[in-house]
Amino acid sequence: MLVGTFIRDRGVTRTRTVAKDVLSYLLDNKIVAVASGSPKDYASCLRSIQALLVKEGYALEKQSGPTEYRMSKAHEDARDDYVVMMVPTVTMVPRRPVIYLDESFIHHHYT
């Protein structure tokens, strides 16, 4: 995802990322269009970006300055566990094939 890559790239340089940064990035890349001179349209688009960031799992960090977005602790832990499991798998000789399966067809409410 374009937004995730943008936030990760800024995180590498320890640059704080707020929803306005993401919105300006999307505007620069012509992913989002906002009517110029319309503060209501800009505010509406900014709220949508904030909702997108929360939905994608980025945590809100309230600080003395603007709100900063980063990956939530649960996502960080899951990613770290996955990397710990996968590094030995992909570095062993001979290399084992890794097959990724999409489980979107499974209904989540079945017991």
Cα(52)–Cα(98) distance, rounded to whole angstroms? 31
Band (92; pLDDT cuts 50, 70, 90): confident
Enter the pTM of the model. Answer: 0.54
Structural tokens at position 95: 């290399």
Predicted confidence (pLDDT) per residue in 6-63, tens digit = 888 888 888 888 889 999 999 999 998 998 888 999 999 999 999 988 888 887 666 6
Other Cβ atoms within 10 Å of 42 Cβ, number = 16
Helix or strand (DSSP H, E) at 23: helix 19-28
Residue partners of 41: CB distance under 8 A and separation at least 6:
34, 35
Task: Answer whether 35's CB lies under 8 Å from 41's CB.
Answer: yes
